[in-house]
Structure 1
Amino acid sequence: MTARRVRWGDEMTVPARVLSRRERRRLETCDEIVEVARDVLREGDDLSLRAVATQMGMTAPALYRYIDSIDELHVLVARAICTDVIAAMAEAGERYSRDDPAARLAASATALRCWALANRTEFLVAFANPTLAAVSCPIRRKALGRLPAGDDDSPNPFAAYFAQMFIDLHSRGLIVVPTADDLNPRLYALIQKSAAQRDNPFYAALGVEGLGTYWLFKLAWVRLYGILVAEVYGQVDEELVGSDVAFNTLMRETFSSLGLADRWDRLVEVSRATALRADT
């Protein structure tokens, strides 16, 4: 899969004026730095300013004209990867109507899996590497004291993408939402605390009822993330990976937890069709 280049302008405010030739060349160089950094990772090498500079025919000090630190490069690379992942999920999900968020969820989750298996190194970098995961997520960077003044401390767009589908499922009355009485009191208190700390989109969109949907979302993510990491790391037999059995079993559990077990036959076909399109 060819990675989509992310404009440097995505990471800062670009004045509403015509850029000079020098400014355009600077943006192009910054784009190239991010793309070369991803190439370094795909080749299995450690990401460093020296490695990127060597690939570009520059010296490491020269890169500091464009990149302030290795942490900044980590952030830009992780965000570029995240942008590609969201684009792949959105393309898959948008084949289905907004009135059918269950199908959009099945397609998007499958697209994420297909992308992860086809881009294992980048998946591990963006989603399983503690260093890059910390600096690429605004919330975690803020906790570590790495959030620059004026930077966005809202949840990352990857989480927001999946959150919106769960909010749509709830809003259309398509899922069974647990109430405070259905949950362990200690668990419910933890959910409330998490929502308050993170300006939770579920609470903002759905009120108190959104906390139950937030819990369903967290459980679904644990299943999806868990199987993806296990498959990408090679902890699942290749025959099981190729047959989709483990992935489909966990996805069926997710849709059953949402009260959508009766739709599974159709949803698994949505998943299979998405996987076939990704292979072509």
Structure 2
Amino acid sequence: MTVEPTTRRERQREATYSEIVATSIALLRDGEDLSLRAVAQRMGMTAPALYRYVASYQELVDLVAYEVDRSATERFRAAADTLPEDDVAGRLCLSATAFRQWAHESPREFGLVFANPIADTSCARREMLTLSSSGHLFTDQMKAIWESNGFPIPAVDDLPPAAREAVLDPLIPAESEGVAEADRGLLWVYMQGWTQLYGIVTLEVFGHMDPRLVESGDLFVDTILRFAPRMGLEHDLDRLEALIRSHLRD
């Protein structure tokens, strides 16, 4: 298949999008408010010129959140890649630990990605929002564990009606790739695990937890280990705890 070369205008437009994202992240890291006006000023553009690329504040947030999530996911994936492909349990644990470390190091970026509602359909770059890089990574990692040890999953027909709809027609389409309809209970287990991981990290990052527990990571470790048996990993808890704690100190 022949790939059509991009035009100079298309390259310039994409370069401007990249600069918008980089500028927005710099504002977040500098502790400044993220706004269209602030981005335009730092880029040396007028606000009307910026509107040719992003039509609203929500669209700016969506654009930046997508790129932040994509970049952060590469870090989570790199953490997993320090282990062999067949250590599926260890890889998930290291990605989850890297997720926590990133959230603590970049709380405003974490909030932008995970405390931001999904945009409405008017977003010009809405097609990006059908993908969540981190969501797909964690889903794929859990699927690898399930394929490895065949841990039990609920039958779709046994799920509550709303849960049944959510696993049969997930909001993130790629979550269901390679999973037969009869096995979609796996997505329900994933949703339960993600809720616990996201919950503990959010409480830590936004200061709703005893700082001694944040410093030690004890509650985070306990949360992971308590969920691990749900994935058939009850005989691997000591190794997984040692693995997580070694990376918490990195």
TM-score (norm 2): 0.87
**2:153, 2:183 within 8 Å by CA — same for their partners in 1?**
no
Identify the residue that residue 152 of structure 2 maps to in structure 1.
177
Moved more, 69-78 or 82-91: 69-78
CA pair 207-238 structure 1, distance change in 2 beyond 3 A: same
**2:196, 2:223 within 8 Å by CA — same for their partners in 1?**
yes
**2:59, 2:124 within 8 Å by CA — same for their partners in 1?**
no
CA pair 207-59 structure 1, distance change in 2 beyond 3 A: same
| Seq. identity, % | 32
Pairing partner for 1:98 from 71, 74, 85: 85
**1:175, 1:260 within 8 Å by CA — same for their partners in 2?**
no
CA pair 196-45 structure 1, distance change in 2 beyond 3 A: same
Identify the residue that residue 136 of structure 2 maps to in structure 1.
160
What 5-or-longer segments of structure 2 have no aligned partner? none
Moved more, 188-197 or 246-255: 188-197
Q: Does 1:221 align with 2:194?
A: yes
Query: How far does residue 229 in structure 1 lie from its aligned partner after superposition?
Result: 0.7
**1:203, 1:210 within 8 Å by CA — same for their partners in 2?**
no
CA pair 17-118 structure 1, distance change in 2 beyond 3 A: same
Hey, what's the Cα distance between the residues in 1 that align with 2:205 and 2:69?
Answer: 17
TM-score (norm 1): 0.78
Pairing partner for 2:5 from 10, 17, 26: 17
Query: How far does residue 127 in structure 1 lie from its aligned partner after superposition?
Result: 0.5
Hey, what's the Cα distance between the residues in 2 that align with 1:26 and 1:33?
Answer: 11
**2:168, 2:184 within 8 Å by CA — same for their partners in 1?**
no
Query: How far does residue 25 in structure 1 lie from its aligned partner after superposition?
Result: 4.4
Count of aligned positions? 247
Hey, what's the Cα distance between the residues in 2 that align with 1:175 and 1:249?
Answer: 23
Matches within 5 A, 1:183-202: 185=158, 187-198=159-170
CA pair 39-134 structure 1, distance change in 2 beyond 3 A: same
CA pair 39-117 structure 1, distance change in 2 beyond 3 A: same
**1:128, 1:229 within 8 Å by CA — same for their partners in 2?**
no
What 5-or-longer segments of structure 1 have no aligned partner? 1-14, 136-140
- Pairwise CA RMSD: 2.6
